Chains A and B, each alone.
Chain A
Amino acid sequence: MKKQTMLLVALLGLSLILAACAGQTAPADTSSDSGAVAAEDAPITLTYLVDDGETDQLLAHAFADGYMELHPNVTIEVENRPGGGDGDNVVKTRLATGDMTDVFFYNAGSLLQALQPANTLVDLTDEPYMDTVDDAFKQTVAQDGKIYGVPSQSAMGGGILYNKKIYADLGLSIPTTWEEFAANNEIIKEAGIAPVIASYGDTWTSQLFVLADYYNVQAADPNFAEEYTANQAKYATTPAALAGFAHIQEGYDKGWYQQDYATTTYEQGMGLLANGEGAHYPMLSFALPTIATNFPDKIDDIGFFAQPGASADENGATIWMLSANYIPLTTTGDKLAVAKDFLAYTVSSAAIELLNERVPPSGPYLIKGAELPADVLPAVQDIAAYIESGDSAPALEFLSPVKGPNLEHLCVAVGTGQMTAEEAAAAYDEDVKKQAQQLGLEGW
């Protein structure tokens, strides 16, 4: 017995040591970074970890190809990882074990905070190009005033993608309040078309009514994000926040969703919208390039409007910030210099031109002087209009590190009639509490 206890203690000790080792990362080699390209001639290879989403792959390869053309001595190897929760775990594991690629692509906002950027990432605050990066974006890749990420995508709008043809045929106008939206839906339903497309076969798509409602939440309750982070405001007890869940329930109660929506996939959902079998699809605008690929002759029928709220005076779009490129502290020496130069390239006008050519943008770039191409998708113009007129707000996940993992499942439960909006909001508050406690946030 005693021997076993000893063994256990030894093993625990060992695991502690290992954990400590894992926490340690190589110190940043800040002396060698002069901003200029080091080792112009010596061949050098950079590894670049990117999730395997279609658009993100296109982006990464565009950056890599563009850079390699300018710098023939540099080889950039793009490595794939899965997206979603598995991808988050891969990134965290590799950072924790000091085994990250030289450059990597990852979300901004709450997900970035979980990487403990101060301990794992290279501080890019003083890079010369940072002046050209949008200030609102910088906040989403910053911690304690230091900036860690470089924007690598165009921004996205979250709201309602709609079929303009149906709107024209039925003589509808774009709703600016939820009431008008509901009224439109009844007319569309009468015409034998599904008013709202839900695609619960891919559960993440279920959350849009809640997440894209954030502009309206903020309009009604400007301090929500702050109070929510501080464990003061709750979804269940804040009427404006509860509205998102109520919208999902309303769709279920009034039969807005198309047939078989419980198993419809995201891919099918885009098809339903493009083919006019459904009128509205609550979605992020990154669906647009995919619709353009799958239905090139239908993409001009697709438009975007912000998710309508309580009042027409306060109508605006919720915006998702772009993902960014980061450098881990484990990249040092010549590689660090090249990695920094590579990131500088990704925000240069040459890179933006290449992107416009290869990857249809799904929203405006958040880089000064980066113009959308003239032939940008019509729905993207709709989004850009909201942003230009100042009627936009970042989604909650870019304002607060608190985000419960079960939101998508709760939304599906509401949308399939297994839970009411109130129950789901209360359950989500519990879910969030668990997350905040696991993250060790203050005040929970």
Chain B
Amino acid sequence: MSIRRTITNLLRDVILLVTFILVFLVPFIFILLNAAKTRQEAALLEFRWPSEFLLWANLREVITYGENRMLLALWNSTLLTVGSVTLIVVLSALVAFVMQRRSDRLASVVGSFMLAGLIIPPAVVPTVFFLQWLNLYKTLTGMIMVDVALNMPFAILIFRAFMNSIPRELDEAAILDGASPLRIFFSVILPLLRPAIVTVVVTSSVNIFNDFVGPLYFLPGEKNVTAPLTLFSFISQFSSQYNLLFADVVVMTIIPLIIFIFFQRQLVSGMMGGAIKG
């Protein structure tokens, strides 16, 4: 390997590194810097090192604001996210499994409903009325159900695409062994769907965790506050405190970030595992 080649490789690596950092990291550095400023300095919205580094103070202010409202919000959001995502994964995978394997007329009807779910905008106020009728208004259960209904179509789409790569021979072998449908699903299919599950878990938990409109209308009440609602408190209409606003963004992003870090290896390498077997 010539020296020239090594240098071009090095150059390529440097250019790539700088580009990636500029494009993807700088906006986050901007958020962190502004989360560390005083109110007056943050109002200037500049990309500058803060004259006083107040990140911890601002984070603490955001977290303790209004009798630890933020902690309650993070707890509620986590419950909501975990509950919804679990249901989404199981219910959608069941649908995608049968849909892809049968590929009959009913499957295409189900497909149309899935598409409708992707396309039709949710009807906010009728949902409130209906939840109230079911006695699920202002309950976490009701909110979870709505989130499941709204996020399932996307999950089904992803699962169905991945089902293509799981060979039928696997389930046929299990059938011949006399396994029940549920057993086939849970012990053969679901494990193989792992990469798709990771994708679904990450995308729908981010969606649900960051959703503002749902909790605003379906889950009112101070004890039900969720993380995005705290962000909106800081973007209050008439006067904004950008330092706290960005500190809030930092706090809010921590949980999706944890979910991501937890699943990250599988999000990328897990795919290969599922795919190679296909």
Judge A-B direct contact (beta carbons within 8 Å): yes
CB-defined contacts of B159 to chain A, threshold 8 Å: none
Contact status A54-B43, CB under 8 Å = no
Which residue of chain B is the closest to A17 with respect to CB atoms? B133
Q: How far is the CB of B132 from chain A (nearest CB, A)?
A: 5
Contact of B238 among A15, A83, A90, A93 (CB under 8 A): A83
Q: Mark A6-34, 1 if CB is under 8 A from B, else 0.
A: 00000000010011011000000000000
Number of chain A interface residues as a range: 35 or more
Contact of A82 among B45, B130, B222, B237 (CB under 8 A): B237
Which residue of chain A is the closest to B225 with respect to CB atoms? A80
Cβ of B207 under 8 Å from chain A: no
CB-defined contacts of B128 to chain A, threshold 8 Å: 93, 97
How many angstroms from the CA of A53 to the CA of B239 in the assembled complex? 7
Interface size of B in residues (CB-CB distance below 8 Å): 30
- Within A263-293, which residues are at the interface with B (CB < 8 Å)? 265-268, 271, 286-287, 290
CB-defined contacts of A268 to chain B, threshold 8 Å: 43-45
How many angstroms from the CA of A271 to the CA of B238 in the assembled complex? 14
Contact status B240-A93, CB under 8 Å = no
Q: Mark B176-194, 1 if CB is under 8 A from A, else 0.
A: 0000000000000000000
A-B contact pairs, 9 of them (CB 8 A): A52-B233, A80-B222, A82-B216, A84-B237, A97-B137, A99-B132, A99-B137, A268-B44, A294-B43
CB-defined contacts of A15 to chain B, threshold 8 Å: 126, 129
How many angstroms from the CA of A18 to the CA of B130 in the assembled complex? 7
**Known A-B contacts A54-B239, A84-B237, A86-B216; A294 and B222 likewise in contact (beta carbons under 8 Å):** no
CB-defined contacts of B221 to chain A, threshold 8 Å: 79
Contact status A90-B216, CB under 8 Å = yes
How many angstroms from the CA of A99 to the CA of B221 in the assembled complex? 10
CB-defined contacts of A54 to chain B, threshold 8 Å: 236, 238-239, 241
**Known A-B contacts A286-B238, A290-B238; A93 and B233 likewise in contact (beta carbons under 8 Å):** no
Contact status B129-A18, CB under 8 Å = yes
Question: Using a CB–CB distance below 8 Å, which chain B residues touch chain A?
Answer: 39-40, 43-45, 125-126, 128-130, 132-133, 137-138, 216-217, 220-222, 225, 229, 232-233, 236-242
Q: How far is the CB of B44 from chain A (nearest CB, A)?
A: 8
CB-defined contacts of B242 to chain A, threshold 8 Å: 267
Cβ of A51 under 8 Å from chain B: yes
Question: Using a CB–CB distance below 8 Å, which chain A residues touch chain B?
Answer: 15, 18-19, 21-22, 47, 51-55, 57, 77-84, 86, 89-90, 93-94, 96-97, 99, 204, 265-268, 271, 286-287, 290, 294-295
Contact status B237-A53, CB under 8 Å = yes
How many angstroms from the CA of A52 to the CA of B241 in the assembled complex? 12
Which residue of chain B is the closest to A78 with respect to CB atoms? B222
Among B225, B232, B238, B240, max chain A CB count under 10 A is at: B238
How many angstroms from the CA of A54 to the CA of B65 in the assembled complex? 13
Contact status B43-A267, CB under 8 Å = yes
Contact status B222-A79, CB under 8 Å = yes
Contact status B236-A18, CB under 8 Å = no
